[in-house]
């Protein structure tokens, strides 16, 4: 009998499979399809201090082995998340949930995290300093080590829960940013968020997405994500949550061998709403195929 248990920042998970923020709503939508308690946990929709309508449409563009999106952090704001979304989730999900937080200032991040820190359902705060789809915030904090550290310190000052900082791949040196976050008190690092991409409609010569550019995700980015997880996990001593193009149980194992303690699944949920359930179901047989008895033992195996 194989063991899929892992521990993320001191919180036990039955397995390392985590639907990524922005691809799983607030969870209860998917609970209509299957029992989402089979998941390790999930990261709920990116939440900001104030409500956001998001970017103009069209927001989605297809591309080879992936997709581009520029939703723009559409969400009802943290107060409504606490008063309306979390009570609905509590009816269908009995495990700690990961709260994904975005902001446009250090104060925004701190306020939103302080509100969510008080929620018993929330196990971890995933602080997104890496969204490429909004102007004047998000990724601007994640492309500079000092700015990322400033956000990390501000959030840590108002929270008791583990803080996992989500990093952007759209940088020259992701390791320096991860190390800055660790030094500022981060309890974990998650990566990668989407790459920046675009498509052009060759019939009219205009960008397909109203926002011009958006976040490129899907299987095509897996090797880039794997490389960055490997680099960062070898440079920090805190847990790493790996993501980017993950769509199979084999991908999960590869990410963990690169150094990930847990693995988020993003775009795959948008093409197959049962993707995470399938990966969870297939994980034990794939472990047996490769002679893996305990999943936690393979974390960072590629580092030697």
Percent residues over pLDDT 90 in the chain: 91
- Domain-embedded: residue 57: no
Q: How far apart are CA 42 and CA 24, in angstroms?
A: 8
At residue 286, does pLDDT exceed 70?
yes
Question: What pLDDT, on a 0 to 100 scale, did the predictor assign at position 131?
Answer: 60
Q: Is 87 helix (H, G, I), strand (E, B) or coil?
A: helix
Residue 149 phi, psi dihedral angles, 5° rounding: -65, -35
Let me know if 256 is exposed, middle or buried by CB neighbors in 10 A (0-12, 13-18, 19+). Answer: buried
At residue 206, does pLDDT exceed 70?
yes
Question: Among residues 117, 200, 128, which one has the least CA distance to residue 161?
Answer: 117
Q: Is 206 helix (H, G, I), strand (E, B) or coil?
A: strand
Q: How far apart are CA 39 and CA 28, in angstroms?
A: 13
- H or E element in which residue 128 lies: strand 122-128
CB 48 within 8 A of CB 112: yes
Which is catalytic among the residues 9, 113, 131, 181? 131
Instruction: Return the structure tokens found at 169.
Output: 């791949």
Domain boundaries, position 129: 6-52+76-194+219-303
Question: What pLDDT, on a 0 to 100 scale, did the predictor assign at position 72?
Answer: 87
pLDDT tens sequence across 155-205: 999 999 999 999 999 999 999 999 999 999 999 999 999 999 999 999 999
Question: What pLDDT, on a 0 to 100 scale, did the predictor assign at position 21?
Answer: 97
pLDDT tens sequence across 248-267: 999 999 999 999 999 999 99
Question: What pLDDT, on a 0 to 100 scale, did the predictor assign at position 118?
Answer: 98
Percent residues over pLDDT 70 in the chain: 97
Question: What pLDDT, on a 0 to 100 scale, did the predictor assign at position 8?
Answer: 98
pLDDT tens sequence across 100-147: 999 988 999 999 999 999 999 999 999 999 765 444 444 568 888 999
Q: How far apart are CA 265 and CA 276, in angstroms?
A: 7
In the annotation, is 131 catalytic? yes
Residue 300 CB partners (closer than 8 Å, separation 6+)? 233, 234, 257, 258, 259
- Domain-embedded: residue 257: yes
CA 97, chain centre distance (Å): 12
- Domain-embedded: residue 161: yes
CATH of residue 165's domain is 3.20.20.70
- Domain-embedded: residue 204: no
- Domain-embedded: residue 44: yes
* Number of domains into which the chain is organized: 1
- Domain-embedded: residue 203: no
- Domain-embedded: residue 188: yes
- Domain-embedded: residue 270: yes
Cα radius of gyration (the chain): 18
Q: What is the DSSP letter of 46?
A: P
- Name the average pLDDT for the chain: 95
Q: How far apart are CA 123 and CA 117, in angstroms?
A: 9
């Amino acid at each position: 009998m194989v063991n899929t248990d892992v521990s993320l920042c001191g919180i036990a998970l039955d397995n390392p499979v985590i639907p990524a923020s922005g691809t799983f709503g607030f969870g209860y939508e998917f609970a209509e399809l299957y029992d989402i308690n089979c998941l390790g946990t999930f990261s709920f929709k990116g939440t900001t201090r104030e409500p956001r309508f998001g970017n103009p449409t069209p927001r989605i563009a297809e591309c080879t082995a992936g997709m581009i999106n520029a939703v723009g952090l559409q969400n009802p704001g943290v107060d409504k998340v606490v008063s309306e979304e979390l009570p609905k989730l509590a009816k269908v999900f009995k495990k700690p949930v990961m709260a994904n937080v975005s902001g446009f200032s250090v104060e925004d991040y701190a306020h939103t995290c302080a509100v969510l820190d008080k929620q018993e359902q929330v196990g971890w705060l995933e602080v997104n300093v890496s969204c490429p789809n909004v102007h004047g915030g998000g990724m601007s904090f994640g492309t500079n080590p000092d700015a990322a550290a400033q956000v990390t310190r501000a959030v840590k000052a108002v929270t008791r829960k583990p803080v996992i900082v989500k990093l952007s791949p759209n940088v020259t040196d992701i390791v320096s940013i991860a190390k800055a976050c660790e030094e500022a008190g981060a309890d974990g690092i998650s990566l990668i968020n989407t790459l920046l991409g675009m498509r052009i409609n060759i019939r009219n010569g205009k960008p397909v997405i109203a926002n011009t550019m958006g976040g490129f995700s899907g299987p095509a980015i897996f090797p880039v994500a794997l490389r960055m997880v490997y680099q960062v996990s070898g440079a920090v001593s805190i847990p790493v949550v790996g993501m980017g193009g993950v769509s199979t149980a084999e991908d999960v194992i590869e990410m963990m061998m690169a150094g990930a303690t847990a693995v988020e699944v993003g775009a795959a949920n948008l093409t197959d709403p049962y993707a995470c359930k399938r990966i969870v179901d297939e994980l034990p047989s794939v472990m047996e195929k490769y002679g893996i008895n305990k999943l936690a033992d393979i974390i960072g195996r590629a580092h030697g």
